């Protein structure tokens, strides 16, 4: 199943000429999800040729402007584009208060489609979305305001039945379903054919984790354990460790320590401070700790 990520913005609070603030698109098996929605996200989607009319689920990590100021314009535009149905917003509960308040910047009752809210769980690793093939979990980070990370994880697929076996044993639909779920086959003469002779392993499940903005946290290591790709904030280079601590952010080295200790497949660092035109130094510092690291750029696209 296709599973990829497009970075629309990997800058931090102040947008620069080079970098927009946080927004990224996760596409899984043809379904599109938006994580964070900084100012100008809808403009960037247009520029990248991303058709967002069918977007159904938006995940907002926290309510700092560089992560959600684009939501008002995006929702308005969906309304103007004649969108119907429901758009779900998985976010801190305060965003629902904001959009439903008397003085909200947009009147969500007038958009022409329904906006529903899934408030993020403040406690721990919690399911916030699932469909047939994918689950999305949220988990709390530690920042100046309530903030969450997300894990997008494929559901384990059923075992693949070996086609020849269907004819060989004259399998019924019920038997096929049972075998795909892991059962052995008992023949009429009492012989048992073990499942491993009837099936092959399904494709390995893949997972993606998004972590920004946060101080370095042990609980993140367990939340993102073994994911294929981890996007982790690295607002500063290692020489700003003190400032990172004060502002509840991470250095490139800390992001790489999380990646290494969680045993992820690949690390993408982002959420770079506006002071960096080039982030080569941050990439180098991450690679010293975790070699399979890469620095994000606006427009970057990768498969999970």
Residues tagged active-site: 66
Residue 200 touching a second copy (CB under 8 A)? no
Q: For residue 260, say if its preceding peptide bond is cis, omega within 30 degrees of 0.
A: no
Residue 72 touching a second copy (CB under 8 A)? yes
Interface pick for a second copy out of 2, 54, 104, 172 (rule CB under 8 A): 104
Q: Which is nearer to a second copy, 98 or 230 (CB)?
A: 98
Residue 51 touching a second copy (CB under 8 A)? no
**Distant-in-sequence, close-in-space partners of 53: CB < 8 Å, separation ≥ 6:** 78, 81, 83
Interface pick for a second copy out of 53, 105, 280, 291 (rule CB under 8 A): 105
Q: Give the shortest CB-108-to-a second copy separation in angstroms.
A: 12
Residue 239 touching a second copy (CB under 8 A)? no
Q: Give the shortest CB-285-to-a second copy separation in angstroms.
A: 25
Q: What is the 3-state secondary structure (H, E, C) of 191-237?
A: CEECHHHHEECCCCCCEEEEECCCCCCHHHHHHCCCCCEEEEECCEC
For residue 266, the number of C-alpha atoms closer than 13 Å in the C-beta half-sphere is 12
d(CA 183, CA 176): 9
Residue 4 touching a second copy (CB under 8 A)? no
Q: Measured between alpha carbons, how far is residue 101 from residues 104, 120, 205 in Å? A: 5, 19, 41
Residue 177 touching a second copy (CB under 8 A)? no
d(CA 230, CA 290): 12
Interacting residues with a second copy between 254 and 293 (CB under 8 A)? none
Vertex 39: Cα angle to 129 and 47 (nearest 5)? 90
The distance from CA 164 to its chain's CA centroid, rounded to whole angstroms, is: 39
Interface pick for a second copy out of 47, 51, 155, 243 (rule CB under 8 A): 47
Interface pick for a second copy out of 56, 73, 180, 225 (rule CB under 8 A): 73
Q: Measured between alpha carbons, how far is residue 114 from residues 14, 55, 87, 108, 262 in Å? A: 32, 13, 6, 8, 38
d(CA 165, CA 14): 60
Residue 11 touching a second copy (CB under 8 A)? no
String of contacts with a second copy for each residue 19-38, x by CB under 8 A: -x------------------
What number of chain residues touch a second copy (CB under 8 A)? 33
The region of 98-106, 165-173, 256-264, 277-285 touching a second copy under the rule CB under 8 A is: 98-106
Residue 43 touching a second copy (CB under 8 A)? yes
Q: Measured between alpha carbons, how far is residue 52 from residues 32, 43, 170 in Å? A: 8, 11, 46
Q: Which two tokens stand for residue 211?
A: 């972590």
Q: Give the shortest CB-47-to-a second copy separation in angstroms.
A: 6
Q: Which is nearer to a second copy, 76 or 292 (CB)?
A: 76
Vertex 46: Cα angle to 236 and 38 (nearest 5)? 35
Q: Is residue 18 within 8 Å of 208, Cβ to Cβ?
A: no
The region of 65-73, 160-168, 185-193, 295-303 touching a second copy under the rule CB under 8 A is: 65-73
The region of 77-85, 157-165, 261-269, 282-290 touching a second copy under the rule CB under 8 A is: 77-85
Residues that bind a second copy (CB under 8 A): 13-17, 20, 39-40, 42-43, 46-47, 63, 65-66, 68-70, 72-73, 76-77, 80-81, 94, 97-98, 101-106
């Amino acid at each position: 199943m296709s599973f990829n990520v497009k970075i629309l913005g990997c800058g931090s609070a102040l947008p620069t000429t080079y970098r927009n603030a946080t927004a990224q698109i996760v596409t899984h098996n043809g379904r599109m999800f938006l994580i964070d929605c900084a100012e100008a996200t809808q403009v960037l989607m247009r520029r990248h040729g991303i058709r967002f009319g069918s977007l159904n689920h938006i995940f907002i990590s926290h309510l700092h402007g560089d992560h959600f100021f684009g939501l008002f314009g995006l929702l308005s535009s969906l309304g103007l584009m004649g969108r119907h149905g429901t758009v779900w917003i998985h976010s801190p509960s305060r965003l629902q208060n904001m959009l439903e308040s008397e003085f909200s910047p947009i009147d969500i009752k007038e958009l022409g489609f329904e906006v529903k809210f899934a408030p993020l769980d403040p406690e721990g690793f919690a399911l916030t979305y699932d469909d047939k093939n994918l689950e999305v979990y949220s988990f709390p980070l530690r920042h100046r305001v309530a903030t969450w990370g997300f894990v997008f994880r494929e559901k384990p697929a059923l075992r693949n039945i070996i086609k020849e076996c269907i004819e060989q044993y004259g399998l019924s639909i019920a038997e096929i379903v049972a075998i795909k779920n892991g059962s052995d086959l008992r023949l009429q003469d009492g012989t048992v054919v073990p499942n491993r002779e009837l099936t092959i392993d399904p494709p390995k499940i893949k997972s993606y984790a998004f972590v920004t903005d946060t101080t370095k946290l042990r609980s993140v290591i367990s939340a993102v354990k073994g994911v294929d790709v981890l996007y982790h904030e690295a607002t500063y280079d290692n020489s700003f460790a003190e400032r990172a601590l004060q502002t509840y952010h991470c250095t490139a080295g800390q992001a790489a320590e999380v990646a290494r200790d969680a045993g992820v497949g690949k690390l993408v660092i982002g959420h770079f401070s506006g002071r960096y035109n080039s982030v080569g130094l941050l990439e180098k510092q991450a690679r010293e700790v975790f070699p399979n690291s890469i620095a994000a750029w606006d427009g970057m696209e990768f498969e999970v």
